[in-house]
Structure 1
């Protein structure tokens, strides 16, 4: 655990986590949490993605005595009974069958409640079986998996790279912010920027791409501060050498510190105008070797990023179009009366 942590915040996160773990978790080890096909942005083209959320034992960090991240409730998707390798392989094969009719180019995104490289979550036999099935499918051009940086090493990267052959392989890591104090005091992430940099260095040396998840508006940041932090974190990520940025606007997950403070009226998810501003500024760093993606989870709901309600659906469409086309021009002409309200909101925070 990083030395930069706040005991009061950690204690509250742990209290909330322990209270809700058995309350929310169920047993469904023979099926993934979710899986679906969607139109998506591959690196240099538009194609389809099969998104698979495996039901693993859950994030080791969230299950630890540190309680995990202040905004993340994905650990509650983990079943009570720990799935073995056969179960995880069966889960993936069930999801994979739904993609049989999908045409090339196809990407596979494998999410867990924590880290694909953590062998307590995804044993080596399951990982290799899943990778071999992907490598045998000529339609698949990209594979993206998630992990925390402490599980990234040359051995596992080289093994994956060898199995996948010419498939573009990208490791997604939740950096959240390039500011160590914000990441560890407010998010309780448990690692520092140097750990992320080490993981990126090893990935680049083994021909593996890296995606940096950037959290828009962590707890305790004002709206304007959150905009500045996301922009600077994305620029820092590109300087470090990542291939992709995924902006993840904070949503209110059940059983989290974010939800606790949201219910007390002490947290508001980010405005959609803030997301547009961040994308406008960071898209100047786009080129043929970089992409910027914006997560649409929860957009327009009270627990997710939202504006006034009148313009939310239209902005959601524009954000999706930006991700697919990588064209910032689609964001330039959106207007709504609530834009001035957002500007006033940002200004009032600093008075």
Structure 2
């Protein structure tokens, strides 16, 4: 069901969170645990989304990063082959528009941690050949490439990190700086020969949490022609109980800092809504405790806050956001850019047409 716009979720989840209740309490949900059900697909189509950057590969947990990542790529290849009428893999910017024309959901392969590269930057070429189009340098913790947002040292990009950024540039993969520490973000942005992105974040000027980006980071990313996606996450409100209005405020701030040509959305959540929020709330405390014990939780994660925006979820989330942006006085052209056109423009710069 078309919204009238291309809608690109720069970081999202294609899954039915109601299918396996235990999944919400697991430390890590891997691709082979996802349930891409008929409801999942129907909801995605009904939402109007055109393409989603899905997380695959190693993010955190007790897995061998490289081997686990290869298995996850195979899993997503199988998912797409199993649903050829509904899904197509995005390899170039033009594939996003083509997915829209064919009435399919474009699937963008992305990592949320470059740990699987290990100490071998040449693996970037192999991942590109397997269809990966986005590599986020770090998760919340430090890795061999740089410090994440929870690493207290804030050490920045390592010498190996510089090599990895160069390899990502060479093979035309997006350098995603979501979850990175401030110095890592700034140094990687300056080191990159191509525009970089922060596919899912908030604005630290509004809520001072490490997962949100400072104005300096936002401005530098935009100045280089990059992209910033605002998430639908609790970090958008100091109370942890973020609302749709908070999403709009962070988008508005990002537009003021970056300009309207560099801001979009990366929800970091599903389209299919959780049906039983009370049961989910009961499992959430265990999930948060596990992440904290593993050192992977972000500052602001709490057992009494949902990891999504409760009044901006389900199949109507993109329409509701468009309505709120219109209510704020945004033109249809600006709304179109935020919902997906800006990501497409950025993708052309990095991936080519």
TM tier relative to shorter chain: 0.3 to 0.5
Select the structure with the greater relative contact order (CA < 8 A; seq sep ≥ 6): 2
Q: Which has the larger radius of gyration?
A: 1
TM-score of the superposition, structure 2-length normalised? 0.47
